[in-house]
Structure 1
C-alpha cells in the first residue's frame, strides 16, 4: 500500500492483478485498485474531479480526467473516509499510475489539489 497526505486529505492505494480478466497473448493486462480517501482536516470536503497519468513499461503514457470517481462526487466529513474500487488495463504486465483529485472545502468553497501517490501495477509472476 502507498499513502500520501495533502492538505489534510490522506489517499491510500492498494492494487491487485486480475488474471481472469487479462489476456497476455493479446497484450491485455487488467489491474484493480482500491483507494481510501480519509479526511484528516476539520472541514467537510468534496471530491470534484480526478486526473490520472498512466504509464506502461513500453514507454506509453495516457492521461484520463473527469468528474468525481466511479460516478460520484463524494462529500467526506472530518474524520471519515470514502473507499472505492476501480480498474485499469495496460498493454504490458508492468506499469504505474499517479494523479490528483480536485477537492473543494464546503465551508468556503475553496478548491485544492490532493496528490494520488504513484503506485505500481505489476503482474505477480514478474516478481519471481
Structure 2
C-alpha cells in the first residue's frame, strides 16, 4: 500500500491483480485498486473530480478525467474515511497509475488539488 498526504487529505492505495478478468494471450491485464481517502483536516470536503495518468510498460499513456469517483461525489467530514474500489486494464503485465482529485472545502467553497500517489500495477507472476 502506498499513501500520500496533501492539503490535510491522506490518500492510500492498494492494488489487486484480477486473473479471472485478464487474458494475457490477448494482451489484456485487469487490475483492481482500493482507495482510502481520509480527511485529516478540520473542515468537511467534497470530492468533485478525478484526473488519472495511466502508463503501460510498453510506453503507452492514457489520461482519464471526470466527475467524482465510481458515480459519486462524496462528502468526507473531518476524521472520516471514504473508500472505494475501481479498476484499470492494461495491455501489459506491468504499469503505473497516478493522479489527483479536485476537492472542495465546504466551509469556504475553496477548491484544492489532492495528489494520488503513484502506484504499481504488476501481475504477481511477473515478480517471480
TM-score by length of 2: 1.00
In 2, the alpha carbon distance for the partners of 1:35 and 1:78 equals 17
- In the alignment, structure 2 segments of 5+ residues that lack a partner are none
Aligned to 2:100: 100
TM-score by length of 1: 1.00
In 1, the alpha carbon distance for the partners of 2:117 and 2:61 equals 17
Aligned to 2:36: 36
How far apart are 1:22 and its partner, in Å?
Answer: 0.1
Q: Can you list the C-alpha shifts for 1:52-76, whole angstroms capped at 9, x where unaligned?
A: 0000000000000000000000000
How far apart are 1:9 and its partner, in Å?
Answer: 0.2
In 2, the alpha carbon distance for the partners of 1:88 and 1:109 equals 31
In 1, the alpha carbon distance for the partners of 2:64 and 2:120 equals 17
- In the alignment, structure 1 segments of 5+ residues that lack a partner are none
- Count of residues paired in the alignment: 128
Q: Which ranges of 4 or more aligned residues in structure 1 deviate by more than 6 Å? A: none
